[in-house]
Amino acid sequence: MPHFGALEAGGAKMVCVVANAQGKILERTSVPFRIPETTMPELLNFFRGKGVAAMGVACFGPVDLDRSSPTYGAIQSSPKLDWRGFPILRRFEEALGVPVGIDTDVNAAALGEAVWGCTRSVSDSIYVTVDAGIGLGIIINGRPHHGMLHPEGGHIFMDRRADDPMVCGVCPYHPNCLEGLASEPAIERRWGRRAEELAECTAVWEMEAYYIAQALCSYIMVISPERIVLGGSVMRQEQMLPLVRKEVRRQLRGYIQGKGLDNLDEYIVPVSLGGDQGVLGAVKLAMDAYAERGGLL
């Protein structure tokens, strides 16, 4: 039975695994996030000699996912400047000589949950991560949605809460986008302390839930997902999930009546794969790349 290599390339570390086609992780390591010239050899050292049949890469974005593009699989205008323009897919293909699949980290996380986790019983779902940045992965008919580039749902524009003390959001592009108002750096700028030091401050999390719920209401109305998964460090604050569900119900004002909304505890859910949703999504990308080249799973 073939084994697959998978990489979750994040802003702090690179998680590498070898897994089988059932999503069972057989081996793993993590490599610090540095510049490509030092990080790539470390990544390749892990995967070489393991007989992987294909690779999957869950990559921080923006990344070129247009298969007809000459820069397909290359990192685009990332704030991680050393990686800007880096052809990560091609480097893996050349070095390992196997098919490589790629998607954004958040689409991969959405896919991991859809294949092996809490959205496997539905065909259309979304995954939202609220962390140092905010990302949105969309699964339509079981497949990650790309369209022109890929969704950038962290940068949708928000209606500011009247009592928000922060004058301008932290996003360098938009004064009022979701990431600018609700990411970890936004919490820190607004309240003057790091998010993890503010666990007891109710006002912090009510403000946070207001913005996240507002985004979820927009996603619900535009995408009509059958389930919503919330991940990332901010969502590990225990008070967040109940606050977000309550705010979603309040802000929707009964306008949408889907069966999912009858029970928000089952509609808006936490991650189910213990932090492995991204790398397991990358395993699925590898399996798909393998099957596309005629490999039998």
What does the binding site for Zn ion look like in residue numbers (CB under 5 A)? 155, 171, 173-174, 177
Contact 164, 181 (CB under 8 A): yes
Closer to Zn ion by CB, 50 or 80: give it. Answer: 80
Q: Which residues contact 278 (CB under 8 A, 6 or more apart)?
A: 8, 10, 15, 58, 105, 106, 108, 109, 112
Distance CA 56, CA 11 (A): 17
Q: Which residues pair with 4 in a beta bridge?
A: 19, 54
Minimum CB separation of residue 128 from Zn ion in Å reads: 15
Q: Tell me if residue 140 falls in helix, strand or coil.
A: strand
Closer to Zn ion by CB, 101 or 185: give it. Answer: 185
Minimum CB separation of residue 82 from Zn ion in Å reads: 22
What are φ and ψ of residue 186, in 5° steps? -70, -40
Q: Which residues contact 99 (CB under 8 A, 6 or more apart)?
A: 54, 55, 93, 286, 289, 290, 292, 293, 295
Closer to Zn ion by CB, 9 or 171: give it. Answer: 171
Minimum CB separation of residue 106 from Zn ion in Å reads: 15
Which candidate, 67, 80, 139, places its Cα nearest to that of 107?
139
Closer to Zn ion by CB, 183 or 237: give it. Answer: 183
Minimum CB separation of residue 25 from Zn ion in Å reads: 34
Give 73-104 as a 3 state SS string: CCECCCCCHHHCCCCHHHHHHHHHCCCEEEEE
Closer to Zn ion by CB, 79 or 270: give it. Answer: 79
Minimum CB separation of residue 221 from Zn ion in Å reads: 20
Closer to Zn ion by CB, 28 or 174: give it. Answer: 174
Minimum CB separation of residue 184 from Zn ion in Å reads: 14
Distance CA 200, CA 1 (A): 50
